[in-house]
Amino acid sequence: MIRYVVPRLSEGVFSVGARDRDRRMFDAMVPLPAGTSYNSYLVMGKKKHALVDTVHPSFGGGLLGRINQLSELSGLDYVIMNHAEPDHAGALPAVMEAAPKAILVASHKGARMAKTFYNVADNRMLLVKEGDMLDLGGLTLSFIEAPWLHWPETMFTYLREDGILFSCDFFGAHTSYGICDEDVDELPMLAKRYFGQILLPFRAQGKKAVERLAGMNIKVIAPGHGPVYKNPEKVLGAYRTWTSGITEEKAVVAYVSMWSSTASLVDVLAEELVSEGIDVKLHNLAISDAGELAADLVDSRAIVLGSPTVHGGLHPLALNAMNMVKTIRPPARHGAFLGSYGWGGGALKAASELFAHAGLRMAGALEINGPPRGKDIMDVTGLARALAGRIRESGDGSRETGDG
């Protein structure tokens, strides 16, 4: 019989989720260098027991085993579904079958999704809204509406007596290592990377959530991915900054080069920006990691794109990077473009349209024929100085999103 390791968060709260050490991609677009975890928490009051979120369906068997080790699974009273995405709710059918008394607790939108995705019957659902409470006997769960973090139905669950916030995707980090924040040295970087890829598009909703949490007594944050925060203030502070769109004197330079001409322009620009005191983050798109790029976009004030012309437009990797910018909507204000073509341009025109669409003001652009020569070097140096000036002048004020 398997004896599971089940970390204890407090007297009545246990971490019963799963670690997916081998997974290397999420949603077929998010690289996972350290795998991920699907966190699920069992809250055992004196009278009732509740499971907060489940796990990816592939890990349902282990979840059932861990719950059974602590408490008779068939006696489970509630399953709280903070989020309907299958990495958290995919094992719901297995849990609801093994726990025939259990009632699913979800937001109104969540309940609809539970029915659509997981065939949960109406008579096994309890719909909750902001401020509703569930008494487990000595332990009380309350619910906080947190839409779009990261789907429209998402909510948080708060264990009042212990000050534990179960936040699902919000405050998450993709890693399969560690139990709490003190175990993982690279957690701040992993959390930023996660924020950039998953939550940056919902920055406005995230800001509201952070403000909503400000007055609460939060002693522990128990997210849906990655370690539990026993020292929540650090990640709360980081989220205050990231959701506000506060940027630094920093430029992301994302580029791709086929015959080194664009790369040569990028080198000159990067060195000049650095000499102007700008923090430059270079990403060669042919080899870079999309998670690292997303993390750098969280607080960069400028985005420089470098691309040769391919078939009259941007190189596919540059186009992909700009699509990512369009999708995750980083707070950067300024843009610049560098590129080279063999016999006919077009990349600059394509980039200009995408920059405008992303709300980036073009500080300068250079599209040259063939490898750079003396005048090109002078032009790119001038462009770098102009961009550095814009970056410094625009200060660290936040850029609001257009989201409602």
Report the nearest approach of ligand FEO to the CB of residue 374 (Å).
52
Phi then psi dihedrals of residue 347, to 5 deg: -65, -40
CB of 86 to ligand FEO, least distance (A): 8
- Least Å from the CB of residue 87 to ligand FEO: 4
The first and second tokens of residue 121, run together, are: 């019957």
Q: Can you tell me the distance from the alpha carbon of 56 to that of 74, in angstroms, rounded to the nearest whole number?
A: 20
Nearer to ligand FEO, 19 or 83 (CB): 83
| CA pair distance 53, 60, nearest whole angstrom | 12
> Using the 8-state DSSP alphabet, how is residue 131 labeled?
T
Report how far residue 254's alpha carbon sits from residue 267's, in angstroms, rounded to the nearest whole number: 12
- Nearest approach in angstroms of CB 80 to ligand FEO is 15
Rounded to an integer, what distance in angstroms lies between the CA atom of residue 274 and that of residue 384?
9
Minimal distance, residue 168 CB to ligand FEO, in Å: 7
| Residue 390 beta carbon to ligand FEO: minimum distance, rounded to whole angstroms | 35
Closest approach, Cβ 88 to ligand FEO, in A, equals 6
**Residue closer to ligand FEO, measured from CB, 152 or 346:** 152
Please check whether residue 49 is in contact with residue 75, taking contact to mean a CB–CB distance below 8 angstroms. Answer: yes
Residue 85 Cβ, how far from ligand FEO at the closest point, in Å?
Answer: 4
Residue ranges that bind ligand FEO, judged by CB under 6 A: 83, 85, 87-88, 150, 169, 224-225
User: Whose Cβ is closer to ligand FEO: residue 23's or residue 390's?
Assistant: 23
Give the residue with the Cβ less far from ligand FEO, 276 or 403: 403
66, 3 contact by CB (below 8 A): no
Q: With respect to ligand FEO, which residue has the nearer C-beta, 151 or 177?
A: 151
Nearer to ligand FEO, 154 or 288 (CB): 154
Question: Which position's Cβ is nearest ligand FEO?
Answer: 85
Of the candidates 243, 200, 45, 237, the residue with the CA atom closest to the CA atom of residue 229: 237
Name the residue nearer to ligand FEO (CB basis): 150 or 390: 150
CB of 45 or CB of 90, closer to ligand FEO: 90
State the DSSP H helix or E strand holding residue 387, giving kind and residue range, or none if neither: helix 374-393
Rounded to whole angstroms, the Cα distance separating 347 from 328 reads 22
Element (H, E) at 141: strand 140-145
Judged by beta carbon, residue 41 or residue 355, the one nearer ligand FEO is 41
DSSP state of 58: G
Tell me how far, at minimum, the Cβ of 23 lies from ligand FEO, in Å. 12
Nearest to 347 by CA among 302, 310, 303: 310
**CB of 350: closest distance to ligand FEO in angstroms?**
32
CA–CA distance, 325 with 336 (Å, rounded to integer): 14
Structure-block tokens of residue 48:
């009732």
Rounded Cα–Cα distance for residues 75 and 94 (Å): 14
Distances (CA, A) of 66 to 73, 91, 102, 194, 318: 9, 13, 17, 27, 46
How far is residue 128's CA from residue 10's CA, in Å, rounded to a whole number? 25
The token duo for 341 is 């073509």
Query: 32 vs 338, which CB is nearer to ligand FEO?
Result: 32
